[in-house]
Structure 1
């Protein structure tokens, strides 16, 4: 059996292959479409008959796709990327086909008007009400031509968004600086240098390799004494996948950004919204763009004086003690660390030495036990998708397993940020 279809079990990562994604989606999408047809034909009016089959079918799709999406995020490969893109397009089309089904919409509206519905728990009523709202936001009330255009826009937006993320990942993995003179890494800890040495070994090179993975970027910007190196890393990180970044012609996202914005404007207009902001806020607490801007501007007014004071203190310290007369963005983290050490005798690198990952995980486990009475018990009998990853059963005070956690702490090529 296709391991992706065992959605009630933990993912069998060792058995999952990109060529299994299409067949798994074939089944769960077909099952979902059969449920929709049955609801439209039978027009049930009870929550158990009108809502629950739809939720179960949607959960089956989510069970397959959550595993695929996770692998796409943490173990990217050309084959997986292609299968993910094709599957994502199919799922968007299937979702829009359901959300633009006027007959299904009427079934849910009919459910919402029954006497039973008024007595349902808040969570059940809210789920149905939000789905009815989302039907409208998906173009169910549009005329056929506009409905078809909205669906096409949705598929294209999904494709562009996925391509945008792929370009950022590829640009991150493509840039590196090979260091052969250790003096260039002055100020960095032995553990950071070991990380850079491991990067070099992974590429079959001697010396050290600085990358755009966040642990590497943070180490350079916070501790590297070589200002030019800090500038190169900051600039490469901040401009990756842009028209000004390294490998710009290969990974430039500029046209994708323009395309995404244009399509969002068109989709919002089709639905009768003034702009994409109004469309987005239709599902959020803020009543309009003015509320959002007022909040942000008020926050800015409150934060700016403190930020200006802190920046002035950094600039003064940098000029007086570090010979940096023109404080730049790539200097801020470095100067902040030096100022903290000078004023408060706090050395971040010395503090980090007391918190190796093993100690942090043990402390985390103890804290969860003391605060909530739950324990994290590592399982070594389960296949994971990478040697860095591990799995923990979550048990209650009686030792009963009620949840599980995959832990994957380290950055690496092919793994997306966040």
Structure 2
């Protein structure tokens, strides 16, 4: 039963919270009611069985709890700042949840991405509220401490209430100013699902699918925006490799070892068409990242990968969007294009970068190049460092296998 509730949390959290906020007009109260609904599910589903429509069941319980609390607190809440001046409170029918999901979800993400909030707060709040990630998971995605992230999320919630930010989908004329923040949120949501920050599974398919759905929704709203087009292309091209990223036991499979016949060729074709459209405009970061993914998608096997083209695209990307993670990825591409020594030198130049100090892929990349150069003792030590940083079990097991191969 706990597994069924956990699955409902992963899949339905955003749906239930978004619908409940429409009643409470208060993010904290809505979260409290939704958490209570999940607690009731844990207690009642064991006796009554899992409902056929978990989202509708949870939404009904959460909104009924919210209405009860609002009736009790009506006098006190007249003095509190709310999200909107007025809101319709409609009954939740068993079959209505699925129909309201897209609008409610978009309302929630646009509220979280309001320009009154800082970009960091927008992304953090959306990951917490729309995706239902724990504060620790959000902190890991940002490479900051949990206490720092908790304070950031609390401040963002207070600002939304104090500024009386409306809980609605912006008008078309207002959408462009929200685009950058929303795209950042959707991208980070996807990457969080692509390689889960923690847990037993490498991939959280619910998050990758949710991010792709949001990207498609944005593309329908803004079909001429090259950044939206580029992001959708990137997600499709990256997710196309998902079936081959794990083996039958859920273990991680490296890119060079993946069975490319399992890649989703329909997604690759759609992504390549989109990236070509995006690149006809001034290329943005998402279009460039999608172009890199397209190089991998078009290569019939790992040996045929055009690493020089990948490196050239990273050279352009790092000028457009300089960041430690892009620099790390470029260093890996450099090592693949020009040899492990060149890659290792580029990684060493990033050794003092604070944002990479606890980033598992930094020592993992160094260990790979050290092993390729025959520096096995250093490679073993560096793989051990990466294993200590890995919070995802599948990644940790993969790194442990690499370490054992060197030891053998």
TM-score of the pair, normalised by structure 1: 0.29
Indicate the structure (1 or 2) with the bigger Cα radius of gyration.
1
Q: Which has the higher contact order (CA 8 A, sep 6+)?
A: 1
The structure in which a higher percent of residues are strand is 1
Q: Which has the higher helix share?
A: 2
